[in-house]
């Protein structure tokens, strides 16, 4: 089964080397995610697309324990099939805080400041049987 990015202008390199596309302001060095043309920090409107870092630290998090309102949510909405998932902000060093799903939903295993890395998680299948994936962060295993 092929994996397909939910949004190819945001998430590239699916499935093996996922990268997030953000923007960098050439005037002040500010990063944005998702990509936008206007810099929220200065008056620049020349923001250029960049691949963001794949590692960062967990800035804050929570656990989504019930299906979000759909749309915009497109995953499992049947409460009896729904599986809770972590969601949080991951701070990419020197870049930007990215709001993302977390692969971990156990509060015992999530801690502010822990190291996280980019991965993808399946949301649903499309009519062709492809698996639609979105980006997520997982705790970096200590080796």
Q: Residues 6 or more apart from 48 whose CB is under 8 A from it?
A: 23, 24, 26
- When binding is defined by CB under 5 A, the residue of 11, 21, 25, 118 that contacts Zn ion is 25
As to burial, measured by CB atoms within 10 angstroms (0-12 exposed, 13-18 middle, 19+ buried), residue 71 is exposed
Between 25 and 116, CB nearer to Zn ion: 25
- What angle is formed at CA 84 by the lines to CA 129 and CA 134, rounded to 5 degrees? 40
Q: Which is nearer to Zn ion, 31 or 101 (CB)?
A: 31
Nearer to Zn ion, 27 or 131 (CB): 27
Out of 2, 28, 70, 112, which residue is the one contacting Zn ion (CB under 5 A)?
Answer: 28
80: CB partners within 8 A, 6+ apart: none
Name residues contacting Zn ion, limited to 30-49 (CB under 5 A).
Answer: 30, 39, 41-42, 44
User: In this chain, which of 27, 38, 76, 131 binds Zn ion, going by CB under 5 A?
Assistant: 27
Least distance in angstroms from the C-beta of 49 to Zn ion = 15
CB of 30 to Zn ion, least distance (A): 4
C-alpha angle 3-77-129 in degrees, rounded to nearest 5: 25
Contact 31, 22 (CB under 8 A): yes
**Size, binding site for Zn ion by CB under 5 A:** 8
Q: Which residues bind Zn ion (CB under 5 A)?
A: 25, 27-28, 30, 39, 41-42, 44
């Amino acid at each position: 089964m092929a994996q397909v990015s939910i949004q190819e202008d945001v998430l590239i390199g699916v499935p093996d080397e996922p990268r997030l596309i953000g923007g960098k302001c050439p005037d002040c060095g500010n990063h944005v995610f998702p990509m936008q043309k206007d810099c929220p920090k200065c008056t620049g409107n020349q923001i250029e697309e960049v691949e963001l870092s794949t590692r960062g630290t967990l800035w804050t998090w929570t656990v989504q324990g019930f299906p979000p309102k759909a749309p915009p949510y497109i995953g499992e909405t049947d409460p009896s099939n729904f599986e809770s998932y972590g969601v949080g902000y991951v701070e990419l060093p020197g870049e930007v805080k990215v709001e993302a799903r977390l692969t971990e939903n156990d509060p015992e295993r999530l801690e502010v400041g822990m190291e996280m890395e980019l991965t993808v998680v399946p949301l649903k299948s499309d009519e062709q049987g492809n698996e639609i994936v979105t980006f997520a962060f997982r705790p970096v295993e200590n080796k």
